[in-house]
């Protein structure tokens, strides 16, 4: 199944499927292939993030937890904590 994923306010560490490890405010969406039945939590692990660092997952514009099964064509934004001044 193919989904689009972006990260907002997260550093993608180590050998990641999203590319160079760099902290950015918002990354351009990347298309990923995941196995059928993959959940948000599986996606977090797949891209090399620690679940503790992901404050929120937004799937097709709605906030969901890590147990949500993903479907072909979903757009997922994985968000870190937002820090203000």
Residue 19 burial (CB count, 10 A):
11
Average pLDDT estimate for 52-56: 87
Instruction: Tell me the pairing of strands 75-79 and 2-8.
Output: parallel
pTM reported for the whole predicted model: 0.76
List, in sequence order, every residue forming a beta bridge with 21; answer none if it has no partner: none
CATH architecture of 2-79: Roll (3.10)
pLDDT digits (tens, 9 = 90+) for 10-24: 765 443 444 444 444
Q: Which of 11-15, 24-28, 30-34, 81-85 has the highest average model confidence (pLDDT)?
A: 30-34
pLDDT at 41 over 90: yes
pLDDT of the residue at 15 = 37
Domain positions in the chain are: 2-79
Average pLDDT estimate for 52-64: 90
pLDDT digits (tens, 9 = 90+) for 74-84: 999 888 876 55
15's CB contacts (< 8 A; 6+ apart) are: 48
């Amino acid at each position: 199944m193919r989904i689009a994923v972006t990260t907002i306010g997260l550093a993608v560490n180590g050998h990641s499927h999203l590319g160079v490890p760099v902290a950015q405010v918002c990354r351009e969406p990347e298309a990923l292939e995941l196995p059928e039945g993959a959940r948000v939590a599986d996606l977090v692990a797949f891209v090399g993030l620690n679940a503790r660092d992901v404050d929120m997952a937004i799937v097709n514009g709605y906030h969901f937890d890590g147990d949500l099964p993903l479907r072909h064509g979903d757009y997922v934004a994985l968000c870190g904590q937002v820090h203000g001044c």
